[in-house]
Amino acid sequence: MGHPEILVIDDETAIRRLLEITLQSNGYSVTHAATGKAGLIEAARRSPDLIILDLGLPDESGHETLKKLREWSSRPIIILSVHSHEKDIIAALDNGANDYLVKPFRTGELLARIRSALRGTGPEDTRPLISFGAFEIDLSARTVKKGSESLKLTATQYALLALFGRNEGKVLTHQYLLREIWGADHIDQLQYLRVFIAQLRKKIEKDPNRPEHILTESGIGYRFIGEP
């Protein structure tokens, strides 16, 4: 792959210019569009490696653009928006966005999210081994090792950690995690998640009070980071 191409759909010239400078100087090639319609056309014509999408577009809601994009494209989409309301963010993630950042954002954060979204490209991560920090998850043997020692986890703790491992860098909403681990009948039982996240942090974080791997996305869900 040469320079990964990023399509920026945002109506603010200042933001487009900022992103163009930031992204180009970090080795990406950039195209942009100022409206949802133009964005869809650009996305179809150039098939970029990643799309950065603003939710407040002049011609249609970014949520609409997102849905239309997701009808045919599985490329990573990062939402960039001034709306910091949890509902908005959860809706975007449910509609297939890979990640979100609220404006104003820090450049370092944006670049990290782009790297992690590009890494996860592909329909499903099928690696049998996922390693992070001093740990290694063996998905086929359903075990987790710390160095050469095996880490004792309950079935639920393992399921949660494996799910995180397969979705590294991605925000997983509370509802998604509950549905995947406990089933659709339990998507409101946030208490399950809180308890098991606390247990898991105790086992894999150096300091459970300053987690580096399982990060809280307040009001939305959790994000797993392999290498902080």
Binding site for other proteins (CB under 8 A): 86, 104, 155-156, 159, 181-183, 186, 189-192, 194-195, 197-198, 208-211, 215-216, 218-219
Is residue 204 within 8 A of residue 153, CB to CB? The reply is no
Closest to other proteins by CB, 40 or 197: 197
CA distance 143 to 150: 7
Closest to other proteins by CB, 3 or 194: 194
* Distance of closest approach, residue 210 Cβ to other proteins, in angstroms: 6
Closest to other proteins by CB, 51 or 204: 204
CB atoms within 10 A of CB 120: 17
Closest to other proteins by CB, 75 or 223: 223
* Distance of closest approach, residue 17 Cβ to other proteins, in angstroms: 15
CA distance 56 to 152: 47
CA distance 174 to 222: 7
Closest to other proteins by CB, 79 or 89: 89
Determine the straight-line distance between the first and last CA of the chain, rounded to whole angstroms.
Answer: 25
* Distance of closest approach, residue 109 Cβ to other proteins, in angstroms: 12
CA distance 30 to 62: 19
C-alpha distance from residue 90 to each of 97, 212, 217 (Å): 9, 23, 11
* Distance of closest approach, residue 104 Cβ to other proteins, in angstroms: 6
* Distance of closest approach, residue 196 Cβ to other proteins, in angstroms: 9
CA distance 125 to 64: 27
Torsion sign across C-alpha atoms 74, 80, 84, 85: negative
* Distance of closest approach, residue 82 Cβ to other proteins, in angstroms: 10
Closest to other proteins by CB, 112 or 215: 215
